[in-house]
Amino acid sequence: MTTDETQIKELIFSLRSLRKETRRIFAYQAKKQQLTETWIIALSALTRKDPSSLDELAHALQLSNSTTSGIVDRMIADGLVTKERDENNKRRINIRPTDKGRQKYADTYTDYWEKLAPVNTIDQTKLTELLAIQAELLEKLEGIK
């Protein structure tokens, strides 16, 4: 294995470890609010696009409609979202976050970004370079069939 290949391998494993650590912190913050990671991501999507259809939410979560439907039903039972027929299109069901859902989403993300505050000390030039490298790497990976 060449030095370049070794560095690429180290980069891939480093990115995986970085993702694992950020997810660990995110999961902990969600658990403090008695939520799952998926519920927080759903609340995030619903906060950005309120209301959303089941199709739109499933797409945002990258899950099937049936899986998303079950998630929505459990979130309704916990008072985090509501479901109602669209007044202008009776076939469409609108899903919306409740005030409780919005608050839990906001609290989780506030706590999450506070935990990540030490990352803000990284030099801006280094961050810019890293983002450019990651974008290039992602472009190359997406080109793999």
- Position 79 pLDDT exceeds 80: yes
> Taking the mean position of all CA atoms in its chain, how far away is CA 29?
13
Residue 83, H or E segment: strand 81-85
Render pLDDT for 7-54 as a digit per residue (tens, 0 to 9): 989 989 999 999 999 999 999 999 999 999 999 999 999 999 999 999
Residues 6+ apart with CB under 8 A from 65: 54, 55, 58
82: nearest Cα among 101, 66, 109: 101
Would you state the structure tokens that stand for residue 82, as one six-digit string? 């509501």
Kindly indicate the confidence band of residue 56, based on its pLDDT and cuts at 50, 70 and 90.
very high
Domains of the chain by start residue, with CATH: 20-120 (1.10.10.10)
